[in-house]
């Protein structure tokens, strides 16, 4: 898969997933919605590690700053 997530985007997703998992394990799994939240947290972890979000691909989004290498931008400005 092509990477389409910026580093900040990946870190935010990872932080949200960790907080949600900690909350789930400290509060216990009392409702079926807790399992849904757990699945979303796992999905956030997987996408942040991979650097690619399937939803971004479907919506043609890319949060990375450079589409090419940063060196290519330096050569164009010179």
Q: What is the mean pLDDT of residues 24-28?
A: 89
Q: What is the mean pLDDT of residues 22-36?
A: 90
Determine the angle formed by the axes of helices 32-50 and 7-27, rounding to 10 degrees: 150
Residue 6 has pLDDT above 90, yes or no: yes
The Cα 14–Cα 41 span in angstroms is: 8
How many other C-beta atoms lie within 10 A of the C-beta of residue 9? 18
pTM of the model: 0.75
């Amino acid at each position: 898969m092509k990477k389409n997530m910026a580093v900040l985007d990946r870190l935010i997703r990872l932080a949200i997933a960790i907080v949600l998992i900690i909350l789930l394990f400290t509060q216990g799994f009392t409702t079926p919605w807790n399992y849904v939240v757990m699945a979303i947290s796992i999905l956030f972890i997987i996408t942040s590690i991979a650097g690619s979000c399937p939803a971004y691909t479907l919506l043609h989004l890319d949060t990375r700053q450079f589409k090419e290498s940063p060196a290519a931008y330096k050569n164009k400005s010179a």
